[in-house]
Structures are given as structure tokens and as C-alpha cells.
Chain A
């Protein structure tokens, strides 16, 4: 077993330069056999960043397991650190740390032999520079293109193309130049600001730390020298100010501090600033710090500011200068990298986390899917694990953001599955679709309340959910009759009927079921606006969709009624003969047979139709509506 390394104390050495460069966050990527591990091991060895015990173990490991005879096999050093590989978590990013007198480095190591876009993207999300390894004998591979594409998409703007194993091509300049030429054509369609190609031999150390005598034709720094001097500063200080409010400090009535990490730009006391979403203006009064107030601060500092006026800002607001504001919109176009085993369902409600804010969001349209190997775009109805799509995204409320190209903090978000709480997708914002300033809802002079008052009722959606055959439609019909007897104004939306008209273009796949419910939800909402009591009878097997409609209609007006009947009873009843056909394989995706039914966790009403008559249940529902005020008694 090889012990893990720790950083040596080199940063303290006497050779410290006058102005140390900021930490460099580097992603190492490339195909599996291109020598990534050997390179990392060689870098650490040459910089004497391997401790005695590690080196001793490495020597004996090299003799036993190595492939290089008497030589030290550096791959074993790095691979030894990845014992997790054997335990089956090989797909994960590992972080390594080392320092030289010139600079500290954080290396995110994306395993090359696994073709997991998800993990590559995770590693790239915080990287400023990527070392892309290529085997000089093989040239560019599919994997090389993929990694270059993902790095570019995630905003890595500086690439080192490390053409490795030059010793195996006799240090031939022509081979190097040919690969560099090939890469230039790949990079042409990508968004890199700098590409430095370096011919190396990780195994022998050529051009890794010192210039190589074997390649006198090469003019330019060694890899380490290049990394130590690479200027990747993303004009963080010059960019427009973005300060997402992270936490509000209310120590006392008198003190209100707004804490957050400056995502870009700088601010100083006296600056006029704006809370982007509300547009409210104020002035920075103090920048509070434990050692004494500051006069100014810049990215990436974490600060706490106070305002001259009492304006209401809260977690998720983005502070900016008045002349350089971010976009504020509730719809935008974004690349999504899908990270969940459950595929993307357009229309389904996910939880979005953006600039500290959490809110409901859904994908309204997939424009295209991106093939990261070829750059080709194709139509798609869904995204599966590790797929990348360009999508329209809608949020429940307007949010402040920038395009990711302009700001890697305020242009990024994640989507979270509401039920598993898994991170479902990483989002990279391209541009706003409608500016919030243009989308103020059409102000209507006759309101929902006015219409409802005319009808002497409180509008509501009665959402009947349950297995096929549970009795939803029967009961809903009885309830509607009873409502009409009482002069209530109603409308019935029934699964079968809707599918004959509004939704006749939809089938029964998971994706189509989601869309079916979304449309019904929108119609129900319109009818509630009209002041009606809307009865909806749909199997609606997924919690996420019922939640979506609840959010759409509004918590106050959504009454979820779970008509509960055991599957056996429903199969027995089988009023439409559907279970029989599904069990015979004639119908696919039938709830309760080959598609799950997710029972409501907290319905307003849960009524067992196995034990009571439809009539009795309908009466119970009417009693509930009287009790909760929907019906005047």
C-alpha cells in the first residue's frame, strides 16, 4: 500500500517570489493510456513532493508490479492512491494538492478510463486550466475530443495539450506538429482563450519540470514552469459586481448585515448598489470584518455588508451596481448535463438552486441533444444519464443571472429531484428567453375573486388520483351532480375524455404522462381563474406531477383526493378490461402492472373505495368542502 502524499512546505521556502501567484485549479484529463498517472507522479517526484516512505514503497512496488523493470513506475504512485477503484467507485473525481515556491495547485483528477461525462464535468466546474493528455503514437482520440468539448462547455478557458510519450516516437517534431495541427481544428469550434502544446515524456521527465535535451527544437517552457506562470486571471476584479446574498445577519434590531461571497467585481463603501430582482437601490454603508471594517473588497472574498437604507434583501438576491445589472427573467436557455439515473421529464417540476436561491423549475423544451464526441446536434425528447442537452428552462419566479460565459458563478445552477433529493442536472445558462420586464402578466380588470363572487363559491380543483378501477370517475361524477344540485358551477376533466381531444397526440410513456398532466393542470388553473370548481379524475401515478399541478394551481385551491383501493380489488373489478389486456402484454406502461403508482403521502382526503359505496364517499367529499369553506353551507 502506498501512503498518500501531503503537500510539502515549499511555499515557505526562501525562494518565495515577491508576489505569489494565486492558487491554480487544474483539471487533468485525457484517455486512459495516455499517461496521466505517470505525469502526475513525475511532477510530484521531480518537485520532491513525495515523502520518504512513499518513495521507498514505490520502489518496491515498481519492482514487483511495475512494467518498467528497474525504473520507478510513477503510475503506481498515483494509482496507489486510488484504492477506491477496486471498490467500485472508480468514476469519481479525486483532488490532490501540491505547492511550489511560485504557486499552490489544486488538481482535480478526472479518471480517464471511464467515460463519465458527469464526473468530468464536476472536475471541470471549478477548474481554470486543463491539462489534456494525448499519446503521441495515437494522436487525438474520441475521448480527447470529448474532454476538450466538456472542458470548454464548463468554462475552462486555458488548455495545455500535453503530447506525451514523445520518447516512443523518437522525439520527432513532425509527429508533435501534426497532433497540434489536428487539435487546432478541434479547438476552433471551442471557446478556449489559450492553448499551449507541450511535447513531453512523463516517463523520462522530458519537459515536465525542466527543458528536455532530447527536443532541442522545442522553444517554450516546461510543463511545470508554464503552470507556475499561467495567467488565468478571469478579470474577476474588473468584471461587473455580483454579490449573491447568502445569509442575512440580524444580530439585533439595529444591525442587519448581508453576507455573501463576491462572485465577480469589486465594491467599496459608498457604492450605490441595486438588488437585482427587486430593483431597489441603496448605498454600501460598511464592509464589516472581525479585524476591523474594510473599505473595499473584490472577488473571491467573502464579505458582510450593511446598507445605508433599510431595503429588503434576502438569501438569493444578487447585489450589483446600477449600470451593470444581470438578467432578471423566469425563462432562459441553458445547457443541461444530466446526472441522474432517472431521465429528464420535460414539464416535470424540479427544484432549482441558483445563487443560493431554491425554487421550482421545469424544462419546457429540449432544443437539441449534444453529441460530445462529434459535436453533432440531434433532436431529443428526454435526456438520460451523462447526456447533454440545450433546453429552455422556466422558473416559478423571475431570478437574477448572467450567461455562464460572462460569469461562472451567477450563470450556473443545479436541478434537484424533489423526491429522491438527488442532484439531477448541472445547468449552464446561455441567454434569457424573455426579460422579466416584458412579462408582467396582463393585468386584468375582472379578477378571479370577482368571477367567483358572482357564482357564490370558492373556486377549487378537486384532484382525484388512484389506480385504474379505483372508482375515481364514478365518484367524481356523483360529487359533481351533488355540487350542481347545490347550484355550484363546476367542470369535469376526465382522463379518458381529455385524451380524446386536447391530449390525443400523447401516448402512455412516462414522458407523455407527465405532459398529459401538465396540460390538464394548466386547463384546471384557467378554469379556477374562471371561478369554477374543477373536478379532475386522473390516475396521475407520479407524485412529482401532482405536486406540479398543486404548485401551478396554488396550495389553497388544490384538494388532492386519494381514492384508495387495493390493486387486487381493482384488477378484480377491471371495468374497462384494461388490466386483463395489460397482463396479457397488449398494453404497455399500465399503472399497477408494469408502471408504478406512487401513492400520495399527504392528500387532503384519503378515501377507501373498497369498503364504502361511491355514494357514501361522495357525501364525505361534500362534507369536507362544506367544512373547509369551498361550499357555503
Chain B
């Protein structure tokens, strides 16, 4: 399927960004988080540097709480694309037993994701890191630069962001400073799925609907992915036909009930979701509105 002009332009822009970074930075790395956005970003990198391999390794920050299918997919992918894969875990956090079941989600994220990422960037001596974040994901991202400057302690200061005109990126760094680079800044969720379909990009099967062992907790469908899941006395594991709109650590990722078990069906489901809004069934804080919010919370 040929790309629409819209996707073609997004692709050309992302390829430009990837090459620009490869040309300007001493030692870039690509944060590979295994999800759909990372899959698209990796595919774009393969295209950007073909017939050479992308001139940087992949980095996965492993919290040890990812879905097992994600880890399998990650290792398959690294082998398929023949790129170096660095897997980093915050060993101190692991030793302290930091887990999403024992810590608040912010403390857990801080230790196993944010701190782990800093460690990995410092250890690897990386001066630039690609990420798959999109501006439409979250409002703080709507104003983030494509080339986003970080201080020597990896901090982001929204007030001193460099103006970013045309496609001329200021890539200069002071001692110890680094750059985060977002080739998918201008993509939307729809663009990502359309591109996956058009380019036939492999994604983790968790995005497709299937009977999975589910516990309902705080209104969200959580998948019991391994034996570490501590069940409360009143909780039952039931089999539900679900899929995931976004992937992360399994105890923190809500599933949605769905029948969509093909790429086409996923895209069609997205279309239906917006159709239902168009019908105007949204007057009050009804079931559908709060459900949408849950999806959204799962999504982020």
C-alpha cells in the first residue's frame, strides 16, 4: 500500500531528524521501549541509513515488570535488525525490591525508569538519545522541541528551550549536556497505526485482542502476566478478550475489552470510537465517558 502524502511527509521529516542527529552527535542511542511508537521509530531508522545499519545501538530500560511477550518480541527484533541492544536495569532498585505493587507509581517510575535511564545514558557516555514520544500524547509534550536540550544532570528546563525554526536544529552541547530527540514529534496515534499498516511493521501481539487472564482492579483490567502478581482475597482471575492500546509495565497497564484481532480491526475500532462521539452520546458523565477516561489513563 503506497503511503498517503501525509504519511510520506511525516516519514521524510523523521528520516531527516534521524540523519541530522547521526551527523551531529558523537554517540547517539535509540531508546527502544518495544511499543508501537518504538517499532515505527526503529523502522524509520532502518530506512534512514539503509544500506548501512543505523549508526547507534538500541537501549531498553528494563524495569523487570514488562510483559513477557514484550521481552520476547524485543529479543526477536534485535536479532532481526542485527543491531546492538543494550538492556539496562537499575540494580540498586532491583536489590531494594522496588516494585509497582510495593511502591507508589511515582516512586516506582522514578527508580526503575527515570533513574535507570540516567544510569544507562551516563554509563554509555551517550550525548544524544532518540525517543518515540509524540506531541499529541500529553500537553507538556505539545511544547517540547524535536531536539530537546538536557542539562548535565539530565534535567529539562521548559523556560530555556531553544527556539526551533524551520528544520534547522541547534545541536550544540556544553560539557556533560545531552540531547533528547523525538523523530515522531508531529505524528498522531492514528498516523502511527496507519504507518504500521502501510509498511507492514511487526508489533507486539499484545496490541491485538485475545483471551487473556485478567483481574479487575480499581476499575482497570490488569493482566496477570506472571506469578509475581499478588491477588487480593476478593480478586478473581478471569479470562477476557482484551487488547492493549499502549504497553508498559504489566501491573500498571490497563487493557481494553476488544474483538480487534487484526491490524485492520484495530484501526477500524479507532474509527468507531470517534464515530460514537460523533453520535453525541456524551451528554453527561455517563458510563461511556468514564470508560473513555479509564482508557485514557491506561493510555498514559
A104 at the interface (CB under 8 A from B): yes
Cβ proximity bits B141-185 to A, threshold 8 Å, 1 near / 0 not: 011000000000000001101111111101011100000000001
| Residues A55 and B282 in contact, CB atoms below 8 Å apart | yes
| Residues A412 and B194 in contact, CB atoms below 8 Å apart | no
Residue of B nearest to A297 (CB): B12
Question: B165: which A residues are within 8 A, CB to CB?
Answer: 121-122, 125-126, 412, 414, 423, 426
A56, A82, A255, most chain B CB atoms within 10 A: A56
Question: A49: which B residues are within 8 A, CB to CB?
Answer: 274
Q: Which of A242-257 contact B (CB under 8 A)?
A: 246-247, 249-251, 255, 257
A118 at the interface (CB under 8 A from B): yes
Q: Which of B246-300 contact A (CB under 8 A)?
A: 267-268, 270-271, 273-274, 276-278, 281-285, 288-290, 292-293, 296
B23 at the interface (CB under 8 A from A): yes
B11, B19, B46, B288, most chain A CB atoms within 10 A: B19
| Residues B12 and A11 in contact, CB atoms below 8 Å apart | no
CA distance A302 to B16 in the complex (A): 6
Q: In the complex, what's the smallest C-beta–C-beta distance from B48 to chain A, in angstroms?
A: 7
One of B11, B52, B143, B273 near A84 (C-beta < 8 A)? B143
Q: In the complex, what's the smallest C-beta–C-beta distance from A364 to chain B, in angstroms?
A: 22
Residue of A nearest to B172 (CB): A421
CA distance A8 to B165 in the complex (A): 28
Q: In the complex, what's the smallest C-beta–C-beta distance from B124 to chain A, in angstroms?
A: 22
| Residues A56 and B284 in contact, CB atoms below 8 Å apart | yes
B95 at the interface (CB under 8 A from A): no
Q: In the complex, what's the smallest C-beta–C-beta distance from A107 to chain B, in angstroms?
A: 10
CA distance A511 to B278 in the complex (A): 61
CA distance A95 to B140 in the complex (A): 11
A51, A122, A125, A126, most chain B CB atoms within 10 A: A51
Q: In the complex, what's the smallest C-beta–C-beta distance from B81 to chain A, in angstroms?
A: 12
Q: A6-B189, A82-B139 are in contact. Are A421 and B174 (CB under 8 A)?
A: yes
Question: A354: which B residues are within 8 A, CB to CB?
Answer: 168
- For chain B, what secondary structure do more than half of its interface residues adopt (helix, strand, loop), or is it mixed? helix
Q: Count the B residues whose beta carbon is within 8 Å of the partner chain — how many?
A: 71
| Residues B142 and A301 in contact, CB atoms below 8 Å apart | no
Question: A84: which B residues are within 8 A, CB to CB?
Answer: 139-140, 143, 158
B138 at the interface (CB under 8 A from A): yes
Question: B8: which A residues are within 8 A, CB to CB?
Answer: 301
Question: A421: which B residues are within 8 A, CB to CB?
Answer: 170, 172-174
Q: In the complex, what's the smallest C-beta–C-beta distance from B18 to chain A, in angstroms?
A: 9
Question: B228: which A residues are within 8 A, CB to CB?
Answer: none
Question: A301: which B residues are within 8 A, CB to CB?
Answer: 8, 12
Question: A353: which B residues are within 8 A, CB to CB?
Answer: 168, 170
Question: A414: which B residues are within 8 A, CB to CB?
Answer: 165, 168, 170
Interface size class of A (residues with CB under 8 A): 35 or more
Question: A22: which B residues are within 8 A, CB to CB?
Answer: 5-6, 9
| Residues A104 and B6 in contact, CB atoms below 8 Å apart | yes
Residue of A nearest to B165 (CB): A125
CA distance A302 to B166 in the complex (A): 16
| Residues B19 and A94 in contact, CB atoms below 8 Å apart | no
CA distance A369 to B10 in the complex (A): 37
Question: B196: which A residues are within 8 A, CB to CB?
Answer: none
Residue of B nearest to A155 (CB): B166
Q: In the complex, what's the smallest C-beta–C-beta distance from B183 to chain A, in angstroms?
A: 11
B4 at the interface (CB under 8 A from A): yes
Residue of A nearest to B46 (CB): A290
Q: In the complex, what's the smallest C-beta–C-beta distance from B191 to chain A, in angstroms?
A: 8
| Residues A56 and B289 in contact, CB atoms below 8 Å apart | yes
A3 at the interface (CB under 8 A from B): yes
One of A50, A96, A125, A416 near B142 (C-beta < 8 A)? A96
A89 at the interface (CB under 8 A from B): yes
A489 at the interface (CB under 8 A from B): no
Q: In the complex, what's the smallest C-beta–C-beta distance from B6 to chain A, in angstroms?
A: 5
Q: Which of A283-316 contact B (CB under 8 A)?
A: 288-290, 300-302, 304, 315
Residue of B nearest to A82 (CB): B139
Question: A51: which B residues are within 8 A, CB to CB?
Answer: 277, 292, 296
A356 at the interface (CB under 8 A from B): yes
Residue of A nearest to B270 (CB): A9
Q: In the complex, what's the smallest C-beta–C-beta distance from B232 to chain A, in angstroms?
A: 28
Q: In the complex, what's the smallest C-beta–C-beta distance from A466 to chain B, in angstroms?
A: 25
Given contacts A6-B188, A290-B46, 7 further A-B contacts (CB under 8 A): A9-B270, A52-B276, A52-B281, A89-B158, A99-B190, A246-B16, A289-B50
| Chain A residues near B (Cβ < 8 Å) | 3-13, 20-23, 48-53, 55-56, 59, 81-84, 87-89, 92-97, 99, 104, 106, 118-119, 121-122, 125-126, 246-247, 249-251, 255, 257, 259-261, 288-290, 300-302, 304, 315, 339, 351, 353-354, 356, 408-409, 412-414, 416, 421-423, 426
A-B contact list, 30 entries, CB within 8 Å? A7-B191, A8-B277, A9-B271, A9-B274, A12-B267, A12-B270, A12-B271, A20-B6, A23-B5, A23-B6, A48-B274, A59-B283, A87-B158, A89-B159, A93-B143, A94-B143, A95-B185, A95-B186, A106-B186, A118-B163, A247-B22, A249-B52, A250-B52, A290-B46, A290-B50, A302-B11, A302-B48, A414-B168, A422-B162, A423-B162
Q: Give the 3 A-B residue pairs with the shortest CB-CB distance, closest first.
A: A8-B274, A302-B15, A421-B172
